[in-house]
Amino acid sequence: MQILSKPAQTTRPVRYGKLILEDGMQFEGISFGAETGRAGEVVFSTGMVGYPEALTDASFAGQIMIMTYPLAGSYGVPTSQSWEDDHIHTSGLIVSNYIDTPSHAQSTMTLSEWLKQENIPALQIKDTRLLTQHIRQHGSLLGKIVFDEDIPFYDPNQENLIAQVSTRQITKIGQGPKTIALIDCGAKQNIVRCLLKRNVEVMTVPWDWDLFSSANDFHFDGILISNGPGNPKFADKTVATVRKALDNKIPTLGICMGNHLLSLAAGGETEKMKFGHRSQNQPCVMRDSQRCYITTQNHGFVVADVPPGFEPWFTNANDGTNEGIIHASQPFMSVQFHPEAAPGPVDTEWVFDYFLEKI
């Protein structure tokens, strides 16, 4: 009888790294990303799927993301057409179980390969439940992923992250009877896709571009303020532009960071949340109704005081925080969640239609 020998199996050496929190707590884990130290704000996301979209969402800039769902990597990484930007914005990734053998028709590479290409560290830490509970109790904490050499902590909320992720040029895409000026504070690409589906011309401008300056040579019918990372109070130039839009009664819609910036421009106030909302299952109740929408969210700040002339449009059913504002008589509105929502529920995409009807 002939005995066939099995091919030799090659296993890569296990490399360990540490997640160190600012309060001294440490977690050791197995590395499956780039073996480089990175620091940032440690936050958690409760979404079951959507890591390609979350990792490329500019709202995660400066943050080390913990995925509470225990499996990550099982469907690999799709082509960049499905991403929210052309590169990863998170500073690091923490998961409980990394799957290195993806199975999906759209997969082009493993999650590990992608993270290494983008020089992003990632650790497999088994007890992500304890880690998440610790953050829920103490609030978002600064942290760092380290290997051989220690690095200092870094607080992304102490600088203007919007200026770092915003476009630096004006771009035009689409055709239609209406032109929307998209103020890019870190805009997700699916916002543009949702507008293009509705036959809208989209002019994307930098966060600090004055739409009402004589240097602006294009016409626009409405303004959309995008999502973005960090502390909204650093985006003073965006707030000034939005204030001019309100004075000129230009129809305006804010999304996520746009909710904060519209509120600040109108005289409201924002504040830091304890640990924020980062998930695909946040329940939001619409005003004057019993209708509750399940929404995708990613933010660490919240509107604390609704500005004069506005009313709360949506309220979070879990903690009662503001999820959007709407003016009593003018076409000004914003939502804290993501109506473009990919991945996640799409039942709030009607917000785009409602806004366009006001133009």
Phi, psi of 315 (to 5 degrees): -135, 135
Concerning whether 338 is annotated as a catalytic residue, the answer is yes
Concerning whether 194 is annotated as a catalytic residue, the answer is no
- Pick the catalytic residue from 53, 84, 201, 340: 340
* Cα gap 5→82, rounded to integer Å: 43
Residues 17-43 as b or e (16 or more Cβ within 10 Å = b)? bbbbbeeeeebebebbbbbbbbbbbbb
* Cα gap 46→131, rounded to integer Å: 13
Virtual torsion, Cα 151, 153, 154, 155, nearest 10 deg: 170
- Pick the catalytic residue from 260, 277, 299, 338: 338
* Cα gap 269→302, rounded to integer Å: 9
DSSP annotation of 186 reads S
Q: Which of 41, 21, 20, 23 is nearest to 301 (CA)?
A: 41
Give me the helices (H) in the chain, please: 51-55, 111-117, 128-138, 161-165, 189-196, 236-247, 257-265, 350-357
Q: Which residue has the tokens 């055709």?
A: 175
H or E segment to which residue 25 belongs: none
Structure tokens at 353: 């239609």
Instruction: Tell me the residue type at 215.
Output: A
Cβ count near 241 (within 10 Å) = 24
Which residues are within 8 A (CB) of 234 and not within 5 positions of it... i.e. 6 or more apart?
159, 160, 161, 162, 163
* Cα gap 194→353, rounded to integer Å: 10
Concerning whether 256 is annotated as a catalytic residue, the answer is yes
Q: Is the Cβ–Cβ distance between 301 and 63 less than 8 Å? A: no
- Pick the catalytic residue from 201, 256, 299, 327: 256
* Cα gap 125→145, rounded to integer Å: 12
Q: Which residues are catalytic?
A: 256, 338, 340
